Amino acid sequence: MLLRSKGTRSPSVLWSGRISDNAPVLRVTQRDGLVVDCPCLAFAGYAESSSSGLDTRVATRVGTAQRAILQFDLSALKGEVAAAILTLHAERRAGQPRLEIYECDPPRFQLATTRSDVRKGLAASVGERALRSHPSVIRAGDFSSLERGVLFDRVQISDKSVNQQLPDPDFPGSTLYRGSFTPLDRGSFSGTIETMRANYGDPLRPPSVVEEELFCRLYLFLEDDWRSTRDANKMAVGWDLRMGWWNDAQGGYWQATTGNGGARGTGLKLFAPRGSNGGSQSADRWEYQGHSIRLEAGMGIADGNPYESLRPVTSYVYNLDQPTGYGQDLRHGTAVLQRGRWHCVEQQVRMNSITGPFDNQGNGQAVADGLLRTWVDGVLVSEFTSLRWRRHPQMGINGPWINWFYGGKQASEMTMHYRMNHLVLAREYIGPRTHL
């Protein structure tokens, strides 16, 4: 139930919280005469003007700017209800408050393990171990090797993370990766697969191929210590649409100039004279000012709420229409990830189209038809169909970005562990595994 105060002279009441000596009590009398005291699971206060949570375990204020939600455990009720009495203890009050109580319609979290609308794909039709040989699959495998070109083309791992490659008991014969966030480093793991290489026949190094649409799937597991409440974290499936300019060093790679860290992309192809992006740019290059997408798990709840093991899922998306210089959080419906179990996460990205007029470099007008589609455990949880990332047709998807990075500007307040396995990059829907 939702509690709020109405009245005059800034009305408010400080109520005793669920772990206080005067905790809320819901006493229910059944038709058969049985009386049941239902324990209070949550007395959660929140301020409508703030995105930060409040610790309201001991006391909860309800006023003109604050509300509170009460939740009780009804599992002991077996018969028809005849009567119910709610008892609250007021510690202090101000003004002339009038308490209003409303029935809540709480969110139905989407935890898709038992759903009937699971979409099967390549993994179900050919088997997990046969995926890598399918013509639609670009890369597939476990984490037994992090050598370049096996699963990833580039990997960066923090020496502060756990960094273990372990046998996966959930899938005998395969190897999972176990990493961590620590208070010592915000970064943990970053792995990319390069699907767009430069054309070395052109000194300005445009891409030799442009990827317009891709699917990526990854299994992930958040361990029991995944409990940070300081900030959200980037994780698991993401996409590198940044491009930048082509650097010939280290076998060649796209040196990003925009699309993360507060550097807003323009979606344009520009001429970048030698040295315009620092000393490492030793020759004239084309520069593509692109964007990025990273999956993100929301903050946890610190006060023992019954939903504490769940994390909301968003994608942190840099795009042409983001309201600030930083990426835009796009919530994936009501989907949540649960600590202590494997989840299958898959995303589909399709670049937006472009229309004229075009300038001398070929930059046109970005059409709002870019696609980001997400499945959790084979169930479609969100579909964004009007995104804009590029204004030039040579800009595409430089592959998935499997990036575990904590928060924005501060490290985790505790050490938290995660696992991942079964990465697949393909040109069609992959889906959850159903057999080896």
Q: Identify which has the larger pLDDT, 111 or 188.
A: 188
Q: Which pLDDT value is given to residue 283?
A: 96
pLDDT cut 70: percent of the chain above it? 97
Q: Which pLDDT value is given to residue 59?
A: 93
Q: What are 73-129's pLDDT values in tens digits?
A: 999 999 999 999 999 999 998 988 888 999 988 777 777 655 668 899 999 999 999
What's the CA gap between 369 and 399, in Å, rounded? 20
- Closest to 388 (Cα-Cα) out of 367, 373, 374, 372: 367
Q: What are 151-185's pLDDT values in tens digits?
A: 999 999 999 999 999 999 999 999 999 999 999 99
Task: Tell me the average pLDDT across 138-145.
Answer: 97
Task: Tell me the average pLDDT across 222-247.
Answer: 92
One-letter amino acid for residue 413 of the chain: E
Q: What are 65-84's pLDDT values in tens digits?
A: 889 999 999 999 999 999 99
Count CA atoms within 13 Å of residue 12 on its CB side.
Answer: 15
55-64, 148-157, 330-339, 355-364 — which is least confidently predicted? 55-64
Q: Identify which has the larger pLDDT, 109 or 197.
A: 197
| Per-range mean pLDDT, top range of 53-57, 263-267, 306-310 | 263-267
The contacts of residue 26 (CB under 8 Å, 6+ apart) are: 37, 38, 40, 72, 84, 85, 86, 87
Q: Which pLDDT value is given to residue 409?
A: 76
Q: Based on C-alpha coordinates, what's the Rg of the chain?
A: 26
Q: Which pLDDT value is given to residue 104?
A: 86
Task: Tell me the average pLDDT across 14-18.
Answer: 93
CA 34 to chain CA centroid, nearest Å: 46
- Closest to 154 (Cα-Cα) out of 284, 29, 254: 254
The contacts of residue 356 (CB under 8 Å, 6+ apart) are: 364, 365
Q: Do 226 and 419 touch, CB atoms closer than 8 A?
A: no
- Closest to 215 (Cα-Cα) out of 433, 430, 435: 430
Q: Which pLDDT value is given to residue 116?
A: 67
Sorted by where each starts, the structural domains of the chain and their CATH numbers stand as: 2-102 (no CATH), 112-426 (2.60.120.200)
- Closest to 290 (Cα-Cα) out of 322, 266, 261: 266
Q: Which pLDDT value is given to residue 302?
A: 65
CA distances, 96 to each of 45, 52, 86, 379, 415 (Å): 20, 28, 21, 50, 47
pTM confidence score? 0.84
Q: Which pLDDT value is given to residue 304?
A: 63
Q: Which pLDDT value is given to residue 241?
A: 97
Q: Which residues of 384-411 are buried (b: 16+ CB within 10 A; e: fewer)?
A: eeebbbbbbbbbbbbbbbbbbbbbeeeb
| Residue 411 pLDDT greater than 90, yes or no | no
Q: Which pLDDT value is given to residue 301?
A: 73
Task: Tell me the average pLDDT across 242-262.
Answer: 95
Q: Which pLDDT value is given to residue 114?
A: 56
**pLDDT averaged over the chain?**
92
Task: Tell me the average pLDDT across 345-365.
Answer: 97
Per-residue pLDDT band at 46 (split at 50, 70, 90)? confident
1-5, 208-212, 222-226, 227-231 — which is least confidently predicted? 227-231
- Closest to 415 (Cα-Cα) out of 155, 53, 163, 52: 163
Q: What are 253-279's pLDDT values in tens digits?
A: 999 999 999 999 999 999 999 999 999
